[in-house]
């Protein structure tokens, strides 16, 4: 049996619970997915996007302290994070629209963009 997600540096019980909701059951599964795919899964399962959460995940999978990344490396991580967010948002938006429609609330993607 693999170690729990919280055995990875920087990742605690709350992150482990989010991983479980996303179908990432243990540290080996998280490592196999890598930071970007795992973060996509987290966002798809309802985790709210937050750069620090993504950043901590990347650093943890590298075995580095959460605040070890600076300068150009951090800018590159921000670009990756923004790309993941942009990739996931359309599917999540469509799902939310469908759910609202089921209860009789009519919205468009533009309506939701105003809330973001």
Could you tell me the CATH number of the domain that includes residue 96?
A: 1.10.150.20
Q: Which domain holds residue 80?
A: 5-113
Angle between helices 27-44 and 51-61 (to 10 degrees): 160
Q: State how many domains the chain has.
A: 1
What is the rounded (10 degree) CA torsion for 95, 99, 105, 110?
Answer: -10
Cβ(30)–Cβ(8) below 8 Å: yes
Cβ(80)–Cβ(36) below 8 Å: yes
pLDDT the model gives residue 29: 97
Q: What is the pTM of this model?
A: 0.77
Cβ(49)–Cβ(85) below 8 Å: yes
Asked if residue 39 has pLDDT above 80, the reply is yes
pLDDT above 90: percentage of residues in the chain: 66
């Amino acid at each position: 049996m693999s170690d729990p997600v919280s055995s990875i540096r920087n990742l605690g019980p709350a992150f482990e619970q989010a991983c479980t909701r996303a179908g990432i059951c243990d540290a080996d599964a998280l490592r196999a997915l890598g930071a970007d795919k795992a973060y996509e899964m987290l966002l798809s399962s309802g985790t709210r996007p937050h750069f620090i959460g993504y950043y901590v995940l990347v650093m943890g999978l590298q075995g580095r302290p959460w605040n070890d990344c600076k300068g150009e490396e951090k800018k590159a991580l921000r670009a990756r994070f923004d790309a993941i967010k942009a990739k996931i948002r359309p599917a999540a938006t469509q799902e939310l629209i469908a759910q609202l429609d089921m209860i009789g609330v009519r919205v468009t993607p533009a309506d939701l963009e105003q809330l973001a």
